[in-house]
Amino acid sequence: MATAPVSMEKLVSLCKRRGFVFQSSEIYGGFNGVWDYGPLGVELRNNIKAAWWKDFVHRREDVVGLDSGILASPRVWEAIGHVEHFTDPLVECRNCNSRFRADQIDLNKNCPTCGKKDWTDIRQFNTMFKTHVGPVEDTASIAYLRPETCQAIFTNFKLVQGATRKKLPFGIAQIGKAFRNEITTGNFIFRLRELEQMELEYFVRPGEAERWFNYWLEHDLSWLASLGVRRSMLHLYEHPETERAFYSARTIDIEYDFPFGRGELWGLANRTDYDLTKHTKSSGEELEYFDDETKEHLVPYVVEPSVGVDRMMLVALLEAYDEQPDKEGIRTVLHLHPRLAPVKAAVLPLVRKDEGLVKKARTIYDELRAELPVQYDETSTVGRRYRRQDEIGTPWCVTVDGQTLEDGTVTIRDRDSMEQGRFPADEVLSELQRRLRQPWTRPE
Ligand code: GAP
């Protein structure tokens, strides 16, 4: 497949046209930093989340899940320092009032919006969204929308450990929405104000944190590779001490070469015992671990791999997007891993006018639909229908033709190789399920 950089314009246009991603509130002129996911987008996101959950939770003995509230006691954010420190440096142009993140532009240069150079001083802007809980809007009723999903994992640490009796090392995972009032948003679904995270807090003995840090780095990279993300597109950025978040002893970002430049896809941090210790001090509840065998009380260290669903979706789409010249022009195809593909198969009767073919195709469609997300399409030529499915990443097309009525077989066409093979119609479901279980490699 072609490896030329994909233009964001083309991807954004496909995402809108085919129902993956829509701009929020488009009929009202849009709403910055929020995107809505259409019928195919929600399937792709659900598949990304399911793949992560399967590989980071279900397939492991040492990780359990949590689904906590988006709202929590404001004391959580005070204790952890977010009310004071969850900030970005803000600078404003006095001439046109445009606002920028001071660490993302060169203040020796002129304002990129109006071309003048008249900057305000830099001030720290807290990016947590505030709201009020209950009918009275006063300082006592202030609450925050969580800016990261992990804090409830720390506040529930003892309850989860008590309920599951997990022994160190073990992890607690969570997938959910988080909110950040980013100063600048943009690059499609890269930087959002409403985002979703997949976070794992992995609790270890303090002396073992470095070893587990390296383990999770390798694990995250292999997971990306298993979904077809090219290693050559990924880069590791180790934060120097001056750049690290206040809670972290070591941070590595897994960065991706996006069409608009290199950017963070996945953060990996050694959060030490910072969070558990802070919540212990603030709540009075000892968030520690008691080792039955050594009779030792200890506060575990935490290694945290954290990735955004939206950024993972963007990377999956960018890695999958391909354009191949063919007889009819250009074949646009999404080489999505079959695990991630929103639609697993399409059932196509070769000709719409043939009642026998349509009836048989609908019977196969009904049988498949009970088990897998599949589509039925009988409009236009079969070539066009293949192209439509290629464009949304459907790995297989099942075609019902004249021979089906004679010998009961159908063809299964593969999206990547475009090869077709014949299979008995009553074996299509098991054949698709077999293919879905098989490892997939990205076509070269
Ligand atoms: N609990 C640690 C934490 O939240 P982070 O590096 O701020 O760390 C983790 O965020 C991941 O969440 C990032 O690597 C990115 O994938 C995603 N993310 C963070 N801010 C985002 C935003 N404004 N829009 C989209 N995704 C974002």
Q: For 214-252, how does the pLDDT look when each residue is reduced to its tens digit (9 = 90+)? A: 999 999 999 999 999 999 999 999 999 988 887 889 999
Q: Residue with the nearest Cα to atom 15 of ligand 1?
A: 308
pLDDT for position 415: 98
What distance in angstroms lies between residue 308's CA and the mean position of ligand 1's atoms?
A: 6
Q: Best of 306, 307, 312, 314 to mutate for ligand 1, by most ligand atoms within 8 A of CB?
A: 306
Candidates 420, 418, 422, 421; CA nearest to 443 is 418
What distance in angstroms lies between residue 114's CA and the mean position of ligand 1's atoms?
A: 30
Gap between the Cα atoms of 399 and 357, Å rounded:
10
Q: Residue with the nearest Cα to atom 21 of ligand 1?
A: 191
Candidates 247, 169, 159, 155; CA nearest to 203 is 169
pLDDT for position 23: 97
Prior bond to 74 cis, omega within 30? no
Residues 6+ apart with CB under 8 A from 385: 346, 348, 377, 379, 397
Q: Residue with the nearest Cα to atom 4 of ligand 1?
A: 148
pLDDT for position 284: 97
Q: Residue 356: which H helix or E strand, with range?
A: helix 355-369
Instruction: Note the pTM of the prediction, 2 decimals.
Output: 0.96
Residue 5 banded pLDDT, cuts 50, 70, 90: confident
pLDDT for position 244: 87
Is residue 3 pLDDT above 70, yes or no? Answer: no
Q: Compute the radius of gyration of the chain from its Cα atoms.
A: 25
pLDDT for position 444: 83
Is residue 420 pLDDT above 80, yes or no? Answer: yes
Is 197's C-beta closer than 6 angstroms to any atom of ligand 1?
A: yes
pLDDT for position 4: 64
The ligand 1 atom at the shortest distance from the C-alpha of residue 180 is 23
Residue 2 banded pLDDT, cuts 50, 70, 90: low
What distance in angstroms lies between residue 372's CA and the mean position of ligand 1's atoms?
A: 32
Position 194: which residue type?
E
> Helices 39-53 and 309-320: crossing angle, nearest 10°?
110
What distance in angstroms lies between residue 197's CA and the mean position of ligand 1's atoms?
A: 7
Q: Best of 68, 311, 312, 314 to mutate for ligand 1, by most ligand atoms within 8 A of CB?
A: 311
Q: Which two tokens stand for residue 96?
A: 């046109």
The ligand 1 atom at the shortest distance from the C-alpha of residue 197 is 12
Is residue 271 pLDDT above 90, yes or no? Answer: yes
Q: Residue with the nearest Cα to atom 18 of ligand 1?
A: 308
Strands 289-291, 296-298: parallel, antiparallel or unpaired by DSSP? Answer: antiparallel
Is 189's C-beta closer than 6 angstroms to any atom of ligand 1?
A: no
User: Which of 24-28, 75-79, 234-238, 290-294 comes out lowest in average pLDDT?
Assistant: 290-294
In percent, how much of the chain has pLDDT > 70? Answer: 99
Question: Per this entry, what is the length of the chain?
Answer: 444
In percent, how much of the chain has pLDDT > 90? Answer: 94
Mean pLDDT across the chain = 96
For range 340-345, the mean pLDDT? 98
Is residue 7 pLDDT above 80, yes or no? Answer: yes
Is 311's C-beta closer than 6 angstroms to any atom of ligand 1?
A: yes
> Helices 355-369 and 428-437: crossing angle, nearest 10°?
40
Pair 306, 267: CB distance under 8 Å: yes
pLDDT for position 327: 85
Is 310's C-beta closer than 6 angstroms to any atom of ligand 1?
A: yes
For range 308-316, the mean pLDDT? 98
Q: Which has the higher per-residue pLDDT, 191 or 293?
A: 191
Is 267's C-beta closer than 6 angstroms to any atom of ligand 1?
A: yes
Give the SS3 label for residue 257.
strand
pLDDT for position 404: 96
pLDDT for position 1: 67
Is residue 111 pLDDT above 80, yes or no? Answer: yes
Is residue 309 pLDDT above 90, yes or no? Answer: yes
Is 43's C-beta closer than 6 angstroms to any atom of ligand 1?
A: no
Is 350's C-beta closer than 6 angstroms to any atom of ligand 1?
A: no
For range 383-402, the mean pLDDT? 97
